[in-house]
């Protein structure tokens, strides 16, 4: 259970980009919590992504600002430089994950223990999950495979989110089910994305409306990934 509640909601955002600052303002406004997955060796770099007939900023936050920006949320691993881990040898997988974790722990001022796999497509597998579990201080790792539900999962090293933040039709459908349900065992509504994606179609207001809709329910616990995923669910799985 989550502070005596059977339902918990959490967000997860990747890459450590400057749009996270605006996102955090929205999350804080509605008392929502997120985990932010960061590439420590890319901090401070500027860039942009091509989208349709224009570009979208993809600037990484400054190393010196990490603790201040994310202070009310959780910082987690996203690898040092955002490679596809499944094509790397064992030693490099471990280095990319564990050194990122150590770097971020120093910046955060606490031990970082969470993770989201970098890249799209087949970005995780049993081998990389086993390497991370047995050779790093990471205690959970999120995939990009959508479960479409809120069920507990036994494998925290390949944890599948409920859905993607910009799929608003699906998000509201899931939200309606989540709000209405009265479960007899813990349920987790896990949402993921990248904050720069709000700039692609200017969906910031739509996202804030969703945050307002899902927030403020007395039977839902709103927490970071760590606060929710690392509960003891042995009696329910």
The owner of tokens 């959780």 is 74
Q: Check: pTM over 0.85? Answer yes or no.
A: yes
Give the rounded distance of the alpha carbon of 50 from its chain centre: 23
Tell me how far apart the alpha carbons of residues 213 and 217 are, in angstroms, rounded to a whole number. 9
First-residue to last-residue Cα distance in the chain = 13
pLDDT tens digits, the chain, 237 residues: what are they?
898 999 999 999 999 999 999 999 999 999 999 999 999 999 999 999 999 988 999 999 999 999 999 999 999 999 999 999 999 999 999 999 999 999 999 999 999 999 999 998 899 999 999 999 999 999 999 999 999 999 999 999 999 999 999 999 999 999 999 999 999 999 999 999 999 999 999 999 999 999 999 999 999 999 999 999 999 887 787
Burial class from Cβ neighbours inside 10 Å (0-12, 13-18, 19+) for residue 39 reads buried
Residue 129 has which token pair? Answer: 């999950």
**Pair 103, 67: CB distance under 8 Å:** no
- Domains of the chain in start order, with CATH, are 7-229 (3.20.20.370)
d(CA 186, CA 214): 17
Distance between CA atoms of 206 and 202, rounded to whole angstroms?
9
Predicted pLDDT at 232: 82
What phi and psi, each to the nearest 5 degrees, are found at residue 143? -95, -170
Residues 154-171 have pLDDT tens digits of: 999 999 999 999 999 999
Give the integer Cα–Cα distance in Å for 129 and 123: 11
């Amino acid at each position: 259970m989550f502070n005596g509640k059977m339902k918990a909601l959490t967000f997860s955002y990747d890459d450590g980009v400057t749009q996270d600052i605006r996102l955090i303002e929205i999350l804080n406004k509605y008392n929502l919590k997120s985990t932010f997955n960061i590439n420590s060796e890319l901090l401070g770099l500027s860039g942009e992504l091509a989208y349709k007939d224009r570009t979208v900023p993809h600037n990484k936050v400054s190393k010196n600002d990490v603790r201040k920006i994310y202070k009310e949320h959780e910082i987690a691993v996203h690898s040092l430089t955002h490679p596809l881990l499944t094509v790397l040898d064992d030693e490099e997988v471990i280095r990319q994950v564990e050194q990122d974790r150590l770097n971020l722990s120093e910046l955060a001022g606490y031990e970082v223990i969470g993770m989201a796999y970098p890249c799209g497509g087949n970005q995780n597998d049993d081998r990389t999950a086993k390497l991370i579990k047995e050779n790093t201080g990471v205690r959970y790792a999120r995939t990009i495979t959508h479960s479409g539900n809120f069920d507990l999962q036994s494998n925290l090293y390949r944890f599948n989110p409920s859905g993607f933040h910009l799929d608003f039709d699906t998000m509201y459908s899931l939200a309606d089910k989540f709000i209405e349900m009265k479960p007899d065992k813990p349920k987790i509504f896990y949402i993921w994305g990248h904050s720069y994606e709000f700039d692609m179609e200017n969906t910031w207001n739509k996202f804030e409306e969703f945050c307002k809709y899902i927030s403020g329910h007395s039977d839902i616990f709103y927490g970071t990934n760590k606060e929710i995923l690392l509960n003891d669910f042995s009696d329910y799985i």
